[in-house]
């Protein structure tokens, strides 16, 4: 048996089946397309269902692929067993109504045992078959398999309800007695016992019957079109071919293990924690690259659970920092060659993982402490469903993590009670949808709440104040220990309004520590804080210290003031018919929607951006005034006049920008530093949206916009390189220059530069392809002696019938033209063979032959199709094995015409 890396295993498998006439299919996205039956792509055949159910006919009925897969039905087993993974790679070869059992098993045996391929010792291989599948049994024996290595099992029949079904044959590799401590031997296979000795490496499914409910299996009708579906796990093959004890000691995982060891300063010695983290980071990286996100449901919940499980495991390795993004680099290095689509998404993936990890770290310590308290001295040996729900709802612990942690300590969790609390939360959420939507605040308790809560957040970001009242479940209460809503006597937290996001922060006293995670306006305009208790109990009437997150508030202020300056600049450039149609301001970006009847070019947006920055650079103070509404209007203050204002309004003046606004702003424009426009979007109905930022992460935000351009540029440059290499191999000289380096971005002008460079490169590539095509044809037809020396005269026609190798269609056409133009009464047929496929070009200036008829007949014989006119025809096929024989028949046909 050869020693191979994971990548070598993949290439050997794919190249073998391509040599057998299969089309290599790129791995599909892990997120299923138009298939709601599965959450993730979980098998090699899953994205090919459209071919097997007959809804789409593939161009080639023989297919092969290495498919990314995710299965998360038994996450808790990852790290416990030798072979459980959430992400894995599945090799497969597929026949859609083409070859069947004989070819499938013959090729499987050839690939596994062939000296030029995997070179397995055939005596180490064992096969299981369906007892009634005598054909498969006899085939294995004919291939040289010892009959004692073939085990009939009733389970070897693939069937999922009504529809295509059939027997299957699994191939196992015997790792020897050292993996069989009880010396059970072949009994392990015969009784289908879980073991580490006989490892399943390949399954061949023979889809040949149509299953029907109520019909005995031996009476199933045969399918008119029989299919082959196979699957070989790359991770398992790597384990065997690298002589590893488990999949985790192979080159597919060890680089990740080494990085974890470096971060933790603990060597890898088979610890479960290493395995879990290494497995989960692969899943996270690939899933996020394919467009999944962290969420509280569906795929996003799975990813959130995997990340949080990894973080929990990391703490057992004394890793007490954000670290997962560092592992993404290793995954990229290891898998970038096989899956090049990963690389352009690297920084986005790292950012998403870091953000999610930081989010969990905020509550992790308090949550762990609470979980330890629940487990300590637990005489009932069970954590209640209510406590498990609080861990989930307050500290972000997925219930599966709580169960796993409890089980390690010999405790259980009341899952039934937990899910009852989850359902209650959903019902309450539907009935009283937090307090984000204003109409949901219209309950009697709040409608009648008239106490004054003074907003002091313009002047200060922290103070000492009194908790006036607490609400939970739509009722006023005296205290809370988990979460609820709070009115403060003096409140520095800004409530979301006017497009500006709310403040977050903390409340604290000797009895409690409380997180403020959202602030909204109550029906009577008081600011209402949604809080989560991190420690202790929050009581009505207690005195607390408040703390607004300063860095976040200041980032919001910068973006909000930038929005005012942008609106003024838009009116300066586009006229006073520009009107605000909405806005959104948070700590990262600002978004401004406006109406305008006209076109906005990139050059114009660049000029607008520069003008806004000129206003910023004037370093003017922000002036806040409270004026009667009519006086404010006379002063020229802009407002959303669909909004309702009181008699006295707050007027914000920043240079020549004057607006009615209740939001928070910088005291001087120098604090903004610089603004950058990220994107401009036409929303339709003469409404545009500009997104911009003043963030210190400006370069990263802008690069998110240009990443697709940059990826496309790299892809096109790679294409150009391949053309140049191919041309050089044919002694064709081509000139190509393109200079563009990645750089820091701080303006929309940089985004436009990327966009323009991409357009420039596309034009250059088109010109390069055109020039190469022309020169290649010229080179091909410059000397046609080799094709005319052996011309035959058949039935009075000068005939040139030639088999070619590695000629493209354009060169074949040029060659046929050159020959035809040189001779009268001539017939030319060129057949190019590559990987057992054939392309055919034919031309004639004789009236005695019909190119269209001859090419069609020849193409059909080669398992393809073709046709054309009497003077020119084109065709091809997927079977070139007997091409020479068919061409002799064609010559006889011309002779006897």
What pLDDT, on a 0 to 100 scale, did the predictor assign at position 744?
A: 85
Angstrom CA distances, 193 to 47, 184, 215, 819, stand at: 31, 10, 30, 69
Tell me the residue ranges of DSSP E strands in 22-160. 23-25, 62-70, 87-96, 125-129, 150-152, 157-158
Rounded to whole angstroms, how far apart are CA atoms 816 and 824? 13
Q: What are the structure tokens assigned to 697, written together?
A: 């992460």
Q: What are the structure tokens assigned to 285, written together?
A: 């990286």
What pLDDT, on a 0 to 100 scale, did the predictor assign at position 436?
A: 33
DSSP state of 404: H
Angstrom CA distances, 197 to 89, 151, 677, stand at: 22, 16, 61
Side-chain half-sphere CA neighbours of 736 within 13 A: 28
Please name every residue paired with 548 in a beta bridge, in sequence order, or none if there are none: 505
Q: What are the structure tokens assigned to 487, written together?
A: 């009115």
What pLDDT, on a 0 to 100 scale, did the predictor assign at position 34?
A: 65
Contact (CB, 8 A) for 288 and 30: no
Contact (CB, 8 A) for 307 and 254: no
Angstrom CA distances, 745 to 331, 350, 581, 741, stand at: 27, 19, 29, 12
**Could you tell me which residues come within 8 angstroms of residue 45 by beta carbon, excluding any fewer than 6 positions away?**
52, 92, 94, 229, 231
What pLDDT, on a 0 to 100 scale, did the predictor assign at position 871?
A: 95
What's the first-to-final CA gap in the chain, in angstroms?
Answer: 57
Indicate the angle between helix axes 254-264 and 272-289, nearest 10 degrees: 110
H helical segments located in 413-478:
415-431, 444-447
Indicate the angle between helix axes 883-895 and 851-861, nearest 10 degrees: 150
Q: Long-range pairs for 857-860 at CB < 8 Å and ≥24 separation?
A: 857/890, 858/829, 858/831, 858/886, 858/887, 858/890
Residues of the chain falling short of pLDDT 70: 34, 53-56, 424-444, 447, 577, 639-646, 684-686
Please name every residue paired with 403 in a beta bridge, in sequence order, or none if there are none: none
Contact (CB, 8 A) for 169 and 135: no
Q: Long-range pairs for 737-744 at CB < 8 Å and ≥24 separation?
A: 738/764, 740/713, 742/710, 744/699
Side-chain half-sphere CA neighbours of 376 within 13 A: 6
Rounded to whole angstroms, how far apart are CA atoms 311 and 738? 45
- Count of Cβ atoms closer than 10 Å to residue 476 Cβ: 15
Rounded to whole angstroms, how far apart are CA atoms 479 and 489? 16
What pLDDT, on a 0 to 100 scale, did the predictor assign at position 444?
A: 63
Please name every residue paired with 827 in a beta bridge, in sequence order, or none if there are none: 799, 844
Indicate the angle between helix axes 346-375 and 272-289, nearest 10 degrees: 140
Q: Long-range pairs for 542-545 at CB < 8 Å and ≥24 separation?
A: 542/466, 542/467, 542/509, 542/511, 543/464, 543/465, 543/466, 543/467, 543/509, 544/464, 544/465, 544/466, 544/467, 544/488, 544/507, 544/508, 544/509, 544/514, 545/462, 545/463, 545/464, 545/507, 545/508, 545/509
Rounded to whole angstroms, how far apart are CA atoms 293 and 431? 27
Strands 382-383 and 125-129: unpaired
What pLDDT, on a 0 to 100 scale, did the predictor assign at position 275?
A: 96
């Amino acid at each position: 048996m050869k020693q191979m890396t994971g990548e070598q295993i993949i290439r050997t498998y794919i190249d073998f089946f391509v040599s057998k006439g299969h089309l290599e299919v790129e791995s599909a996205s892990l997120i299923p397309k138009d298939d709601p039956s599965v959450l993730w792509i979980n098998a090699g055949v899953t994205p090919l269902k459209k071919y097997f159910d007959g809804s789409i006919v593939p161009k080639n009925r023989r297919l092969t692929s290495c498919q990314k897969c995710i299965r998360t039905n038994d996450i808790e087993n990852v790290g416990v067993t030798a072979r459980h993974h959430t992400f894995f790679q599945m090799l497969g070869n597929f026949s859609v109504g083409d070859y069947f059992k004989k070819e499938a098993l013959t090729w499987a045996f050839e690939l596994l045992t062939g000296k030029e391929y995997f070179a397995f010792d055939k005596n180490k291989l064992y096969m299981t078959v369906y007892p009634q599948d005598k054909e498969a049994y006899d085939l294995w024996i004919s291939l040289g398999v010892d009959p004692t290595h073939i085990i009939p099992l009733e389970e070897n029949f693939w069937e999922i309800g009504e529809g295509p079904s059939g027997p299957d044959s699994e191939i196992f590799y015997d790792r020897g007695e050292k993996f069989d401590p009880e010396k059970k031997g072949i009994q392990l296979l015969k009784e289908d016992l879980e073991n580490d000795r006989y490892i399943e490496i390949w399954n061949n499914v023979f889809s040949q019957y149509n299953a029907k409910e109520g019909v005995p299996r031996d009476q199933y009708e045969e399918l008119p079109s029989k299919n082959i579906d196979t699957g070989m796990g790359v991770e398992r093959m790597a384990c065997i071919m690298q002589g590893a004890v488990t999949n985790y000691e192979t080159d597919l995982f060890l680089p990740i293990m080494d990085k974890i060891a470096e971060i933790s300063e603990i060597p890898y010695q088979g610890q479960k924690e290493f395995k879990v983290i290494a497995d989960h980071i692969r899943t996270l990286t690939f899933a996020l690259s394919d467009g999944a996100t962290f969420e509280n449901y569906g795929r996003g919940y799975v990813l959130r659970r995997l990340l949080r499980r990894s973080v929990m495991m990391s703490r057992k390795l004394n890793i007490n920092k954000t670290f997962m993004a560092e592992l993404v680099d290793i995954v990229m290095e290891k898998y970038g060659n096989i899956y090049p689509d990963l690389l352009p998404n690297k920084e986005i993936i790292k950012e998403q993982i870091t953000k999610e990890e930081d989010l969990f770290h905020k509550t992790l310590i308090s949550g762990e402490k609470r979980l330890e308290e629940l487990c300590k001295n637990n005489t009932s040996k069970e954590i209640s469903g209510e406590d498990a729900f609080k861990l989930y709802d307050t500290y972000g612990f997925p219930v599966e993590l709580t169960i796993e942690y409890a089980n390690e300590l010999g405790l259980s969790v009341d899952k039934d009670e937990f899910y009852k609390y989850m359902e209650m939360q959903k019902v309450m959420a539907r009935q009283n949808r937090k307090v984000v939507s204003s109409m949901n605040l219209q309950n009697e308790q709040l409608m009648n709440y008239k106490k004054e809560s003074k907003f002091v957040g313009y002047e200060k970001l922290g103070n000492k104040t009194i908790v006036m009242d607490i609400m939970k479940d739509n009722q006023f209460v005296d205290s809370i220990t988990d979460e609820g809503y709070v009115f403060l006597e003096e409140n520095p937290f800004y409530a979301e309004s006017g497009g500006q996001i709310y403040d977050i922060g903390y409340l604290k006293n000797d009895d409690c520590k409380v997180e403020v995670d959202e602030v909204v306006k109550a029906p009577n305009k008081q600011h209402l804080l949604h809080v989560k208790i991190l420690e202790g109990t929050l009581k009505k009437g207690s005195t607390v210290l408040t703390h607004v997150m300063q860095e976040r508030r200041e980032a919001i202020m910068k973006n909000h003031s930038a929005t005012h300056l942008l609106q003024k600049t838009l009116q300066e450039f586009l006229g006073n018919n520009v009107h605000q149609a909405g806005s959104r301001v948070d700590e990262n970006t600002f978004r401004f929607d406006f109406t305008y009847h006209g076109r906005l070019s990139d050059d114009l947006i660049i000029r607008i951006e520069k003008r806004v920055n000129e206003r910023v650079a004037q370093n003017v103070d922000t002036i806040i005034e409270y004026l009667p509404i009519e006086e404010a209007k006379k002063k020229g203050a802009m407002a959303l006049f669909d909004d309702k204002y009181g008699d006295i309004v707050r007027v914000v003046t920043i240079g020549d920008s004057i607006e009615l606004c209740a939001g928070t702003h910088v005291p001087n424009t120098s604090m903004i530093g610089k603004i950058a426009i990220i994107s401009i979007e036409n929303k339709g109905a003469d409404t545009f949206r500009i997104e911009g930022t003043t963030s210190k992460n400006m370069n990263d935000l802008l690069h998110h916009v240009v990443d697709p351009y940059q990826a496309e540029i790299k892809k096109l440059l790679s294409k150009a390189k391949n053309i140049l290499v191919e041309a050089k191999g044919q002694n064709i000289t081509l000139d190509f220059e393109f200079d563009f380096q990645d750089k820091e971005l701080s303006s929309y002008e940089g985004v436009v530069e990327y966009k323009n460079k991409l357009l420039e490169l596309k034009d250059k590539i088109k010109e390069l392809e055109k020039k190469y095509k022309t020169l290649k044809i010229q080179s091909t037809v410059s000397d046609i002696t080799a094709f005319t020396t052996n011309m035959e005269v058949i039935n009075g026609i000068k005939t040139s019938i030639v088999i070619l190798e590695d000629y493209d269609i354009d060169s074949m056409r040029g060659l046929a033209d050159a020959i035809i133009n040189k001779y009268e009464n001539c017939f030319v047929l060129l057949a190019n063979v590559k990987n057992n496929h054939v392309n055919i070009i034919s031309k004639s200036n004789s009236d005695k032959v019909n190119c269209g008829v001859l090419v069609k007949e020849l193409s059909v014989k080669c398992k393809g199709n073709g046709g054309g006119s009497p003077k020119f025809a084109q065709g091809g096929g997927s079977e070139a094995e007997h091409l020479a024989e068919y061409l002799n028949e064609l010559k006889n046909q011309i002779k006897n015409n």
